[in-house]
Amino acid sequence: MSNLTLTIACWGYDKVKPFLTGEVKIQGVDINLKKIWVQEIFRRMLGNKEFDASEMSFSAYINTLFTKDKPFIGIPVFLSRKFRLGYVFINRESSIRSPEDLKGKRVGIPEFRHTASVWIRGILEEKYGVPVESVTYVLGPMEREKSLNKYYIYVPQLDSTELYRNDIKIVRAPEGKVLSEMLAEKEIDALYHAQIPTTYYTTDKVKRLFDNYIEEDLKYFKEEGIFPIMHLLVIRRDIYEKNKWIAKALYDAFLKAKEIAYEELRVTGVNTYMHPWLEYEMEKITKLMGQDYWPYGVKANRKTIEKFIYYMYKQGLIPDKLGVEEIFAPETLDT
């Protein structure tokens, strides 16, 4: 009996490298792993279901669970996580000095459903007293296509997400305008994004709201125990329904690959990665967050998942809160 071939698209993380080197294999499955920049993966998977399985924006996936066909099913493999308070940018000449000064301001975002923006809005409301409805959101592309490096993909803003609140103020950036330039030119007051705007580097007009953002991120982690999830692994539902064993097989394989990545991070005889003080950083991280600071599975991530669902519901992105077990393939639940 021939193996099942699965085409999986994700970014080239250290956590997936063992599939490329052949260190991790799945019995009965041949994996065709494609390294593609994340925004392009989302566009192609959401638009055309182009891959058998892929990395997926957490918020976009949650939204698909409220569609008629529910095209994907999640695996609790969290390929991207990132603390977010370092990604709130302001104009250096603005009157914004503290998070509360954001109230009444115009804030650029790529789309309201954007996972990074969901986390930023939720944390700013919950911890800093900035209600989601207290700002006007300006939707637009981050950069001009000609200015993008290969790790930016220009995606036209076609956000048609239905909102279940009528008090959220959303406008679109004028045609031909991009958010990074609008911030530098004070046409918007702030920017919430997953990436750093080019004008942060090319002008002296853009700065972070939180100069001490690592301290603020650590404060959130210490209070909540949450390391924000950005992306997870999903399988096309039609493929899952025909071969349900694949869900657990993929989960186990990605878990094994992550353990190999941990081992490489803990090597002390040589510098596996181009970081002169990696051992020092690893000691700090594991002391604060534990040895498995990037956990997969439902049990270790329940609070983080519940918080994100709460933020999406509170911000009007979904009509009802989902139970954690409703999000993932039953075969992968470790509750």
Q: What is the DSSP string of 184-198?
A: HTTSSSEEE-SS--T
Residues in the chain: 335
For residues 143 and 212, state if they share a domain.
Answer: yes
Output the domain CATH number for residue 114: 3.40.190.10
- Considering the domain architecture, whether residues 326 and 242 belong to the same structural domain is answered as yes
Same-domain status, 246 and 294? yes
pLDDT at position 215 is: 96
Q: How far apart are the C-alpha atoms of 5 and 270, rounded to whole Å?
A: 36
In the predicted structure, residue 2 carries a pLDDT above the cut 90 = no
Question: Of all helices (H) and strands (E), which one includes residue 77?
Answer: strand 72-81
Q: Measured between alpha carbons, how far is 48 from 50 in angstroms, rounded to an integer?
A: 5
How many domains, the chain?
2
89 and 220 part of one domain? yes
- Domain end: 199, 224, 249, which one? 224
255 or 147, higher pLDDT: 255
HSE, CB side, 13 Å, CA atoms: give it for residue 185: 7
Regarding whether 45 and 30 lie in a shared domain, the answer is yes
| All residues at 6 or more sequence positions from 114 whose CB lies less than 8 Å from its CB, including other chains | 57, 59, 192, 193, 194
Q: Is residue 90 domain-shared with residue 219, that is, in the same domain? A: yes
> What is the rounded CA–CA span in Å between residue 117 and residue 179?
14
Q: pTM to 2 decimals?
A: 0.95
Amino acid at 261: A
Average pLDDT, whole number, for the chain? 93
pLDDT tens digit sequence for 206-231: 999 999 999 999 999 999 999 999 99
Do 121 and 54 lie in a common domain?
no
Q: Residue 184 belongs to what domain range?
A: 85-224
Helical (H) or strand (E) element with 20 = helix 17-21
**CA angle, residues 163, 165, 170, in degrees to nearest 5:** 65
Same domain, 35 and 156: no
DSSP letter for 328, please: B
Q: Report the alpha-carbon distance of residue 61 to residue 230 in Å, rounded.
A: 11
d(CA 236, CA 50): 9
Rounded CA separation 81/100 (Å): 26
pLDDT tens by residue, 193-207: 999 999 999 999 999
